[in-house]
Amino acid sequence: MIALFVATLLPSTIRADEWHYPTPAPNGVINEPERWGGQCETGRRQSPIDLTYQAAVKGDFAPFLFSNYMNPIRNAQLTNTGHSIQIDSTDPSVTLYGGGLPGKFVLDQMHFHWGSEHTIAGVRYGQELHMVHHDSRYNSLTEAGAVKNAVAVIGVLFHVSNQDNTHMDVVLETSQDIRDAAGKSAPLKGKLSPHNPLPKNRTSYFRYEGSLTTPTCAESVIWTVFTESLPVSLDQVELFKTIHDPSGHELVINFRSLQPLNARALVYHTDMDYSGSGAIPKLSLTLIVAAIAALLAK
Ligand SMILES: [Zn+2]
């Protein structure tokens, strides 16, 4: 009976991991769709999307607060997932708050896509880093993954440059130990803080509600993609492409095709202009509120 139960369960559990990215044609163009099934094909709030200023509305959110992002990740392991390389974080004190997010979000993992999944005004970048967080009201990413807006992903874009990205070196050196086999992990050969791959400008970003970009494509994600990109060298990008997928082939690309925006709001957030008089009433209001709060506290 148990054997029968397991046998009926197995096909669907295996299938979730059997998906793959389409292989580009010799000219580098991807001609076939992903065909991942389920919500990946029927969803209306899917990711990634093309981020255009024309389609965006202006947003004004509180600043982001990154807590304990400066600390190097403890016992950091790099894993070849078969679809990317990933660094897990198990420290619940590494959290993200503010930036218009509906609560406090705990960092779970960081992984890379080569080329970028999101494009800005039609331009694809060399790479995209995803920092995946779950709402602290849920116990895990798995639990939050089924709930709308309970996952927050930060996307950092990398443009190709003459200079190596030194933070990427730590990841790439370790990746050579795990590249040949999906499922393989190795301790990171050096220190990496989640803060290292964040751009300096963390006030200019696109925000929208979307999905995971891999099966099951669950529509649980609040996306933030910073507009300031970081440098990565061509040699470094090429090294990412030597990672092997579960069938032993080189993972040449691992980005999902662009999805339609449909009826969603795309928000563009940028620095508030404090030089104009428009900022003054807001500042005085803050002071008045603070003064009232101080009086009430007495
Ligand atoms: Zn991703």
The verdict on residue 30 lying in a domain is no
- CATH number of the domain where residue 97 is located: 3.10.200.10
Domain containing 190 equals: 40-270
Q: Exposed/middle/buried for 9, CB within 10 Å: 0-12, 13-18, 19+?
A: exposed
Interval between CA 153 and ligand 1 midpoint (Å): 8
Interval between CA 26 and ligand 1 midpoint (Å): 25
What is this structure's pTM?
Answer: 0.86
Around ion ligand 1, residues with a beta carbon closer than 5 Å are: 130
The verdict on residue 60 lying in a domain is yes
In order along its 298 residues, the chain shows pLDDT tens digits of 444 444 444 444 445 568 999 988 888 888 888 999 999 999 999 999 999 999 999 999 999 999 999 999 999 999 999 999 999 999 999 999 999 999 999 999 999 999 999 999 999 999 999 999 999 999 999 999 999 999 999 999 999 999 999 999 999 999 999 999 999 999 999 999 999 999 999 999 999 999 999 999 999 999 999 999 999 999 999 999 999 999 999 999 999 999 999 999 999 999 865 444 444 444 555 555 566 666 666 5
The verdict on residue 292 lying in a domain is no
Domains identified in the chain, total number? 1
Taking the chain, what is the end-to-end CA distance rounded to the nearest angstrom? 70
The verdict on residue 7 lying in a domain is no
Q: Between vectors from CA 246 to CA 244 and to CA 247, what angle results, nearest 5°?
A: 90
Omega cis (within 30) before 79: no
Cα torsion angle, 131, 134, 136, 139, sign: negative
The verdict on residue 122 lying in a domain is yes
What are the b/e assignments for 64-96, b being 16+ CB within 10 Å? Answer: bebeebeeebeebebbbbbbbbbbbbeeeebbb
- C-alpha span between 96 and 3 (Å, rounded): 44
Interval between CA 78 and ligand 1 midpoint (Å): 15
Interval between CA 2 and ligand 1 midpoint (Å): 36
Interval between CA 108 and ligand 1 midpoint (Å): 12
Task: Enumerate the active-site residues.
Answer: 83
The verdict on residue 288 lying in a domain is no
